[in-house]
Every structure is written in structure tokens, then in C-alpha cells.
Amino acid sequence: MTVQTPVSLEERKDKLQGLGCSRKRVEDARFTQGKGHYVDDIKLPGMLFGDFVRSPIGHGRIKSINKEAALAVPGVKAVLTADDLRPLGLHWMPTLAGDVQAVLADEKVLFQNQEVAFVVAEDRYAAADAVELVEVDYEELPPLVDPHRSMDPDAPILREDIKDKTEGAHGPRRHPNHIFTWEVGDKAATEQALAAAAVVVEEQITYQRVHPCPLETCGCVASMDKINGKLTIWGTFQAPHAVRTVASLITNIPEHNIRIISPDIGGGFGNKVGVYPGYICSAVASIVLGVPVKWIEDRMENLSTTAFARDYHMTGRIAATPEGRITGLWCHVLADHGAFDACADPTKFPAGFFNICTGSYDVPVAYVSVDGVYTNKAPGGVAYRCSFRVTEASYFIERMIDVLARKLDRDPAEIRMINFIRKEQFPYQSALGWEYDSGDYHTALAKALKSVDYDGLRARQKASREAFKRGETRKLMGVGVAFFTEIVGAGPVKNCDILGLGMFDSCEIRIHPTGSAIARLGTISQGQGHATTFAQILASEIGIPAADITLEEGDTDTAPYGLGTYGSRSTPVAGAATAMAGRKIRAKAQMIAAYLLEVHEGDLEWEVDRFQVKGNPERFKTMKELAFAAYNQAIPGLEPGLEAVSYYDPPNMTYPFGAYLCVVQIDVDTGVTEIERFYALDDCGTRINPMIIEGQVHGGLTEALAIAMGQEISYDADGNVHGGSLMDFFLPTAVETPAWETDWTETPSPHHPIGAKGVGESPNVGGVSAFSNAVNDAFAHLGLTHTQMPHDHWRVWQTAQRLGVTG
Amino acid sequence: MIPGSFDYHRPRTLEEAVSLLASLGEESRVVAGGHSLIPMMKLRMALPEHLVDLQDVAELKGIRIDGSQITIGAMTTQAEMIASAELARLCPILRETALQIADPQIRSLGTVGGNVANGDPGNDLPGLMQALDARYLLRGPGGERELPARAFYEGPFTTALDPGEVLAAVRIAAPAAGHGWAYEKQKRKIGDYATAAAAVLLELEGGTCRKASIALTNVGDTPLLAEAAGRALVGTAVDAAAVKAAAEAAKAIAAPAEDGRGPRAFRVHLTDVMVTRAVEKARSRAS
Ligand SMILES: Cc1cc2nc3c(=O)[nH]c(=O)nc-3n(C[C@H](O)[C@H](O)[C@H](O)COP(=O)(O)OP(=O)(O)OC[C@H]3O[C@@H](n4cnc5c(N)ncnc54)[C@H](O)[C@@H]3O)c2cc1C
């Protein structure tokens, strides 16, 4: 008889590395050794390279295009223009927002760097040389840069293709440069609340145009196999299945003959959700030439043409009682969408989930209207590390709350505490139509305030202001308080779709006979660590160690259909599908265990990695044993095998939240802002991998720092884009990045199978407000209510100068 | 972001480099560390037909010190300049300035010669060379000549360097022992050129300033020697009034362009702040 050392329950649990374990990222072995496999690493025999001729001007008419000199460059195979794409009906393409976008400029150019012609050559060098030699003759037209002028009666008409359309994808259009008006809430009741209020504050808040700027730019390799008629496209796609369906619909190639593969992706942050001219041109070139065609953006192309974010010009009004209780919220947004409406939002939400702008507060009535307009700028309007327009909404309300606090001369933390939705109000119905699933805001903010010794900070600030007055320092201290509620995990198919594709997600699991597994999902990691965390969800559900579970995503020929990764939807939706598929596996395993142990299914209970007989835990079958039996033992009434698929349509969104505090020191003479301290408390519901959460928070806060303190894509009066290179577009290095302090509370989502809410985007959403509130707070005693981002040196200095504190 | 085509040459001696340039003609350029030239070539703002790479020319490398005379070979990297203990002792402002150029990767390839010959008003060393009254040793087909740094810069990317000439070395007379120095630079982030920067060298005698020179980076088409600003300090105790006068004088000659670093008014104001801070720091270091 062999004596087995009994393995404790804890040891068995630890071996799984399931929920709550800070398991090391399985992806990092390849990434840290330079062994990742990105789209530009793909090399196929005979592959050609595409490169764009781009518009040097912001608005103009194309009088002629002469390709001859370009075609004469050795190695050049083709030069495509709109006229070449027209016979295929591919010179325009549908956008995700119900508009159309020129694939190659058709008669007009509408923004600087717009795609005008596509050169295909044997190598990148020949393509770049030929690009210089395509002669395009333009007639310049007056550029329209200021969105506030878009609907002026005498504004130049940008979109001549739709100038007579009075009905757009989202309702009536009032002007040829008007895209839509979107209204939510009770206008009359809100106006009444404002009229009746003892206190009303109003502010103009602009969230500047920025860009997600992933380290890897966008690109693809398209390969048409003329023998079997199959088109394969490897690309930087955040939603490979959606790309396949859209590609099929616009090219008429049957969907089974299109294969989309997202290899390793070097960051997306929303930039890689859209469909870009480079993809269409590469596919057409491959179809026409019969060989693979690669297209890779350079940094300037990425920053100046593919999907910007934000550019929201918001006017807000809050009605409140003298004690600071909010009685109403009113907001109007002028949304600059650029030359085509290529926002990536669920179809019914042309301004995304901007109507989450009542934030974390119990606002009785609210009204929001958004006007989308065209300008001579690059299209986009994607969610840069946030769920659709949630960062804009959060920034708006968090600045407005501070403005209210200022007006009432109250502490901003206190005004938040007074207005928070209370714990017992969840599930909470917001005035603008959302049902918040769970939250405990008072506890979170109280913990944050205590952790940073908030009262101590305010006392120090007071002393430092007095020292400033006495001329002992030239620095102003600011304390930024921000609280955010996100709305992520789009979403319920009943109201969330993109181009008609329902926003469910999926997971398919196969257990191998020896008790390891492979799981495939409809999402695609761009650095989030899906292969690590989703295996952990499964490990806890099915009792197989995470290390024995392979996770695959991104190949539409093998992965189940799903809508991809953005808007923090992977854990709320695909993560739920993973848990549900795991539960199906477990249910079948239970039947097998019942047969093997000769008991009724109801007599079994699950414990970590096994089914055991209730009251008799010595009699058990581990998942490993059950897997083997599933394949190799004839079990009456059961099919062999152990597999499951789940398509999960979430019943609701999830609502992560958090409390962030930022302390800054501003040198009024130089405009330099030093981040003295940043504390971030996140509540993302059930925590799957605390180390990955911390990593996501660090990354998102760094982006928030970049946005608040420096990022901007701007246009001059002539329509020239500025900030289109990393010399000017602020990407912080380790030197500019402060040390982050992270903390947490845990309020599970009541409707998610494991209670998880998603965390990847929270730090960007909450961080921007915290930085900006801190900068504004530094000047608050001088009468400042709001100053526009980015808070770069010169703007901060101008603010100081305006307030009379510069030397 | 792909350069036009060019031929590549790699001479082993200065003489060979100079004769290559002479025979290849106007469309040839030397390349040193490549960290200004290659980005410009990728943007096709520079389209040389021939690149003459100086990296194998041993005689252009190294730092030589002869008493108080410092000679820095053009191909000495910025990192090598930073690492030199002797330079740090004799003329510490060289190290202080070089440490504020770009980032460590760039400094380990970027050269001293390339930085001063480039002619970009954003480069930090040219401003410093104004303050130090450095001399550039130039070698061309007609032989060698020496030119003061103060006479070298003519406009953005235009210098007194004749076609076919190579900058062989930078010569500096070390400032007197006990001098005060400072290079103050404000930038948006690591790897950025100055929004405004100031180099200050001064000497005190019994608490009175007997010599001062002040120069400015990136607030004009060329590096600027702020002569009046330096004069405003001489003969004073470098007290608040003198510092203010110097800063005012420097500010008066600043003519920066508006760019992503800020509007003109801000950069002019910042010139004042950089000069003020550099003078105060230099004074505190002088003995
Ligand atoms: C991201 C980035 C940030 C930077 N930030 C800064 C900064 O903050 N401050 C700063 O000062 N610089 C900065 N630089 C520039 C850097 O210091 C360069 O290295 C320097 O300007 C040029 O030196 P190089 O050896 O690389 O010259 P190259 O790029 O090889 O040459 C530059 C020019 O000088 C000419 N040249 C080079 N050597 C000679 C010679 N011996 N004789 C005649 N002509 C010659 C070349 O023909 C060319 O026209 C930055 C560069 C980058 C890429």
C-alpha cells in the first residue's frame, strides 16, 4: 500500500492559480525577449508594399493626378486612385458610425494627410520614392477648422457627397456640415430645476483632440489566394470578427472565404477599432495583383490620420441648493468629428455613453444634447482607453463638481460626499437612463481621503499659500480630488450593436483527455494579458491549473464569433462567457462523476478541482480523471468528449468606480507642474489578477498624465495638423512619470458570473480629471474656476499670468 | 519616413574625407552620429546623394588637454564628453550642458562636432560655445582654418562652413579656476529641445564680477550671445538688481518662434527666467 501525503485544500487551490492570484503574465516570456510576432514581422513570398500619397492641404479639389513618373520607378507595380477603386465600388467605404468615408480621395480632399493614391511596389523604398513622384494638382478651398463655425450660414460645405441629405444616420441634419443631434433626458424638468435653483454654476469645458498613439502603428498584410478564392488579412484589428463581416459585406466575398488574423498587437487603446483605407487598398491590391500586399503606417501617419479621440466642447450647468445638493444637470456638447463620421460607438449611441455624465452622483433631473459636426480634420472619435465617450463624460462632471464646490466655497471632497449615490440605492436608475449595478462610493472616497491624510494635505496647502503670499516660495500647491463611475462591458444586444452586429462575446473550451485544455475567445489582447487572466477564470471554474490552459484569440477561422476588445468589454463580456462555458464543462463532468462514483448527481459537490460525494469527501473524482473518462469510457446516455461553447449576452453593463487623488506643485514662473503624489483607489469588482490590475492602472494613469499635461493634436487656421510627431505629441518617459500608489475596494457586480467589472480603462477615465482638478485647485484661491487642458508649461504660465501671480 | 537613395562612403582619414567631399561635389554630406541628419533624411527634408561617414576617422576622436587649452575632436560623442573627468574639472559647464541634450541613447551616438556643425538653433552646444568663446577648427580642400564660434552661425541650418569643409575639432580656453557656471534649460520632456535655455559663465574677484558671458539657446534663428546681459553683471556684486538687468538685456534680444513649446511671449519670458536662474546658480558656484 502506498501512503500519499495528503494535499491540503489550500495547496490544491494555489496550484490552480485561479481568481485572485497574481500569476506572472504568460505573454511576457516572448515580449521581453523580442519574440513577439506582430503584423510587420509577417513576411510572405512575393509580398509587395503599399504606401500612400497624402494630401498636403486641408481642403481642396483634385484637378488631376498624374501617375506616370511614379509608375516608371523600378519596382513599382501599381498606383491606385479613387478612379481605380470606383469600378469595384470600393472608392468609398461605410464607417462604423453610419457615414461613408473616401478610401482614396474622390474629387476632393477634406483633411491634411488624407489618402489620395496608393502606390504598390516591390519594397518600401521604391514605394516611398514613387509616392514623391505622383503629381496631384489641387485647387485649394477655404479650410474649416473651428467646429464652432461649422454650422455658420457661410461656412464652406465640406461633404459635397451628402450636402443635400437632410436625414443622417442619427436623425435630421440642420446644415450640410451637421452630422447629428442626440438628446437624452428631460429637458423641460432640467430647465425648470435650473430656473428654480438657489445656486447655478456654468462652465465651458473643452476636452482637446488627442490620439491613442499605440507603440505599434496600424498595418496589415492582405493575401488573396487565387486558387481557392480565399482572402486572408493579418492586421492590427481590435475586432477581427467584425472586420471579417464588414469586409464580406463591402466586397461581396463570402464570409467563409475571408480569414482575419490579429497577431500580437502592440497596444490599441481604440486606435485599432476602425476600418482604414490602408486595409481596403491592400486587399484590393492583393486581389488585383494576386500577391500579398503589406501596408504599415509610420508614426506621423498614425498620429495624423487614423482615429483621434475626444475633441468635445462641452457647456455645463449645475443647479444646486445652498447646501450643495445637486438638483439638476444640463449639458450641451459640440463634437468635432473631422471630415467623416468614423466614430466607433454602438449604433444607437452616436455620442457613445456620454449620458453617463451624471457620474457618481444622485442627480434627480438631467438633460444632455450633443451636436456632431464636420471639420477639415482627420476622422475618428474613438474611445482612447475608455468605454465610448466615458472619459469625456467623467471629465465633464468631475470638473463641474469642482466648479460647484468653488462657487459654494466648500471642499470638493465634501461636495462629492453630499451628492454620492448611496450604497443602498443600487441598483440605481440614473436620470439619463442607465442602471448602475453596484457601488459603495462613500466607503471608497473615505478610504482614499484617509490614506492620503487629506486634512493634512489641505493644511499644508493653506500654509504653502501663505508662504507664497509672503514671497517665500514661487510654487503653488494643488490637490485634485476625482471620483469616477465608468460604464463598460458593451453590451446587451437589445441596445448595443455595431453596424448591426450584436455586442455579445464568446468562449469555446476543449478539455484534452489528459486534463489540460484550450480555450478560444472572440476578443483579442493588445497587451492586457488575456492569456493569463482568462486562464485564471477557467482554472477557478473547472479545477484545471491555469498553466495547463492554452488561450487563443484573434484568428476568425478558429475563434468563436465575438466583437473584440475595447471599451473594457473583455472581462465583463468574454470573461463572463468564459465562466459560463466553464460551468457547462463542469456540469457534464458532474454527470460523468456521478456515473463513475455510482451516486446521484445531486449527491456530489464541487471542491476546487474535483467532485466529491457529499458527506464522504474521500470518494471523489478529479477534473483530470473526469476528462480522461469523458473521452475513453463509454458512459450510457452521454456523448464522448468534453467541450463547451458559450455566447454571452450580458444583461447589463458593469460600473467600475474609483477615487483618485493628486497633489501637484506648480512653479508659476516656468509653468512647470511637478506631480508630488498620485493615489488611485480602484473598485473593479472581483479581482482576477491583482498584479495585472496594478499594471493596467499604472499604464492608464501614465496615459492620463500625458493627456492632462501635454497631449494635443491641433490644427492651425490653414488646416495644417500640429502634434503629428513624437517630438511634439507628448508621450511621457520614465522621467516624467511619477510613482503611482494604488489601492482598492471590492464591490462585485451582481449580474456578472464572477462579479468582475473590468479595469483596463478606469485609470485613464479617472486620472485625467484628477490631474486637471489638481492644477485648477492650485489656482482656486485666486479665483480660477476652470482652465483648459492640456496643462502644459505655457498654458499653466498663461493662467498664472492672467491671475496676476507671475513675476 | 524613408530616406531617398544615396551612396555611402567610409573614409579612414580626414584627408581622404576632404578629398571625397571635393570629388563628390555639392550633393554630398558628412554623417557623424546621424541623430540630426538621418531624421531629416527620413522626412526627406535632406536629400544628399552621397553620405561620407566619419566614424572610422580616428584622428577626429578624443579629448586633448594642453594646460588650459581644451581640444575636443569632432567625432567625440556627447557621452564621451560627459564621461571625461578632466573636462568636468576644467570646464564643468560642458558636462552640465551635455547632460541636458536629448537622452542617453542619443548622446552615446551623437557627436560634439555634429551638434555644433548642424546649425539647428535648438542644439544646446552651439549656445554654450558662444558663452565659452570657443573656436572651431575647420579642414577643407584648401587646408585648415580656425573660426570663432561667435562668427559661425548665420541662420537656421546655415553656417560659415564652406562646401567641402569638415569641422575637425572644437577648441576652448578653460575658464579661470574658481569661475561660476550654469546651463539652465527648460524642455517639455526628456528628448526635447529647449523651450528656452541659458549658458552663464562668470568670474568674481572679492565679490565683484570681473568677467561674465551669457548665451541663449533656441530663442532665435541662431544661438545668441547676450553681450549686453554679460556686461550688465561686470563690475557688480551680482546682486538682485544686476541679475535683473542682465535678464532684461537677454530678454531684449530673444526672438523665438511660436511652436508647440509655446507662444513667443512665453518663450521670451522664459528666457528671462532661465538667465536669472543660471546667473544665480553660477554666482553661488563661483569663488
Ligand atoms: C529625439 C532627439 C532629441 C534630441 N534632443 C537634442 C537636444 O535636446 N539638444 C541637442 O543639442 N541636440 C539634440 N538632438 C540632436 C543630437 O544631439 C544630435 O546628435 C546632434 O545634433 C548632431 O550630431 P550627430 O553626431 O548626430 O550629427 P549628424 O546627425 O550626423 O550630422 C548633423 C549635421 O552636421 C553635419 N556634420 C556632422 N559632423 C560634421 C563635421 N565633423 N563637420 C562638418 N559637418 C558635420 C552633418 O553633415 C549634418 O548636416 C536630439 C536628437 C534627437 C533624435
The answer on A511 and A436 residing in a single domain is: no
**Residue A702, SS3?**
helix
**Which class for B287: exposed (0-12), middle (13-18), buried (19 or more C-beta within 10 A)?**
exposed
Listed residues A597, A622, A648: the one ending a domain: A648
Please give the share of chain B, as a percent, with pLDDT higher than 70. Answer: 100
* CATH architecture observed for domain B7-53: 2-Layer Sandwich (3.30)
A385 a catalytic residue: yes
- The answer on A594 and A706 residing in a single domain is no
Which one of A23, A25, A159, A385 is the catalytic residue? Answer: A385
Same-domain status, A327 and A276: no
Closest-CA distance of chain A to residue B263, Å: 7
- Residue A155 covered by a domain: no
Q: What is the pLDDT of residues B131-170, one digit of tens each?
A: 999 999 999 999 999 999 999 999 999 999 999 999 999 9
Is there a single domain that holds both residue A20 and residue A88?
A: no
State the pLDDT at residue B231.
Answer: 98
A718 interfacial to chain B (CB closer than 8 Å): no
Residues in A closer than 8 angstroms to B191, CB to CB, are 733
**In chain B, which residues touch A (CB < 8 A)?**
1-2, 4-5, 44, 103, 186, 188-192, 195, 259-263, 266, 269-270, 273
What is the reported pLDDT for A463? 98
Hey, which bits of A427-516 come out as E strands? 428-429, 435-436, 475-485, 497-498, 501-502, 505-511
Nearest Cα residue in chain B from A794? B262
Nearest Cβ partner for A730 among B2, B103, B188: B188
Q: Is residue A175 part of a domain?
A: no
Q: Which domain holds residue A326?
A: 308-490+653-802
Clarify whether residues A514 and A485 are in a common domain: no
Question: C-alpha cell of A752?
Answer: 456578472
Q: Name the active-site residue from A343, A386, A496, A662.
A: A386
Residue to probe by mutation, ligand 1, list B10, B27, B29, B30, most atoms within 8 Å of CB: B30
Look up the ipTM and state it: 0.96
What chain A residue is nearest to B267 in terms of C-alpha separation? A794
Residue A177 falls inside a structural domain: no
Per-residue pLDDT, A2: 57
- For residue A150, being part of any structural domain is answered with no
Measure B36 CA to ligand 1 centroid, in angstroms: 4
Q: Are residues A362 and A278 in the same domain?
A: no
Contact (CB<8Å) A722/B260: yes
Question: Which residues fall within 8 angstroms of residue A799, CB to CB, at 6 or more apart?
Answer: A779, A784, A787
CA of B113 to the centre of ligand 1 (A): 8
pLDDT score of A656 = 98
Cβ-count burial of A187 within 10 angstroms (0-12 exposed, 13-18 middle, 19+ buried)? middle
CA pair distance B133, B167, nearest whole angstrom:
16
Q: Which residue has the least CA distance to atom 47 on ligand 1? A: B30
Q: What residues contact A469, with CB distance under 8 A and at least 6 apart?
A: none
Closest-lying ligand 1 atom to the alpha carbon of residue B187: 8
Eight-class DSSP state of A544 = -
A567–chain B Cβ distance below 8 A for any pair:
no
- List the CATH number of the domain containing A620: 3.30.365.10
Distance (Å) from the C-alpha of residue B151 to the closest C-alpha of chain A? Answer: 30
Pick among 3.90.1150.10, 2.40.50.100, 3.40.50.720, 3.30.390.50: CATH of B180-285: 3.30.390.50
Q: Domain for residue A163, yes or no?
A: no
Q: Are residues A641 and A515 in the same domain?
A: yes
B226-270 confidence digits (pLDDT tens): 999 999 999 999 999 999 999 999 999 999 999 999 999 999 999
Residue A523's identity, in one-letter code, is T
Q: Please give the distance, rounded to the nearest whole angstrom, from the Cα atom of residue B166 to the centre of ligand 1.
A: 14
Whether residues A474 and A616 fall in one domain: no
**The predicted structure's pLDDT at residue A250:** 87
- Cell output for A553: 484569440
Pick the CATH number of B61-173 from 3.20.20.10, 3.40.720.10, 3.30.465.10, 3.90.110.10: 3.30.465.10
Q: Decide whether any atom of ligand 1 lies within 6 Å of the B31 Cβ.
A: yes
The Cα A478–Cα A668 span in angstroms is 12
Interface test with B, best of A668, A675, A715, A727 (most B CBs within 10 A): A727
User: B29 by DSSP, 3-state: which?
Assistant: strand
What SS3 state is found at B56?
coil
Which of A305, A324, A357 corresponds to the end of one domain? Answer: A305
Residues from chain B contacting residue A722 (CB–CB below 8 Å): 260
3-state helix/strand/coil string of A145-160: CCHHHCCCCCCCCCCH
Quote the pLDDT of residue A344.
87
Q: State the helix-helix crossing angle for A762-778 and A690-709, rounded to 10 degrees.
A: 40
**Is A386 noted as a catalytic residue in this protein?**
yes
Q: Is A720 on the interface with B (CB under 8 A)?
A: no
The per-residue pLDDT for A398 is 98
Regions of chain A with pLDDT less than 70: 1-4, 807
- Is the C-beta atom of B191 inside 6 A of ligand 1? yes
Q: Supply the mean pLDDT for chain B.
A: 97
Q: Is A218 helix (H, G, I), strand (E, B) or coil?
A: coil
For ligand 1, what atom is nearest to the CA of residue B75?
A: 41
Q: Are the CB atoms for A474 and A468 separated by under 8 Å?
A: yes
> A662 an active-site residue?
no
Residue A152 belongs to a domain: no
Per-residue pLDDT tens digits for A227-246? 999 999 999 999 999 999 99
DSSP 3-state of B128: helix
Query: Are residues A314 and A461 located together in one domain of the fold?
Result: yes
End-to-end CA distance of chain B: 51
Residues A382, A519 share a domain: no
Whether A88 maps to a domain, the answer reads yes
Chain B residue with CA closest to A299: the answer is: B1
Number of domain units in chain A: 3
Give me the total of CB pairs closer than 8 Å, taking one residue from chain A and one from chain B.
56
Residues of B in contact with A793 (CB under 8 A): 186, 188, 195, 261-262, 266
Q: Is the CB of B73 under 6 A from ligand 1?
A: no
Q: Do B2 and A124 touch (CB under 8 A)?
A: yes
- The pLDDT value given to residue A3: 59
Domains B61-173 and B180-285 share a fold: no
The per-residue pLDDT for A807 is 65
B169 lines ligand 1 (CB under 6 A): no
Q: How many CB atoms lie within 10 A of CB B224?
A: 25
* Chain B touched by A717 (CB under 8 Å): no
Does A319 lie in the same domain as A466?
Answer: yes
Whether A17 and A98 map to the same domain: the answer is no
pLDDT in tens, A767-791: 999 999 999 999 999 999 999 999 9
* CA-to-CA separations, A626 to A544, A545, B72, B224, in angstroms, rounded: 11, 15, 76, 81
Hey, where are the domains in chain B?
Answer: 7-53, 61-173, 180-285
- Picking from B190, B191, B266, the nearest residue to A797 by CB comes out as B266
For A792, the closest of B4, B188, B259 (CB atoms) is B188
- Residue B256 sits at the vertex; the CA angle it makes with B255 and B257, to the nearest 5 degrees, is 125
Whether A238 is a known active-site residue: answer yes
User: Does any domain span residue A206?
Assistant: no
Q: Do B273 and A672 touch (CB under 8 A)?
A: no
Using one digit for the tens of pLDDT, what is the confidence trace for B84-124? 999 999 999 999 999 999 999 999 999 999 999 999 999 99
DSSP B77: B
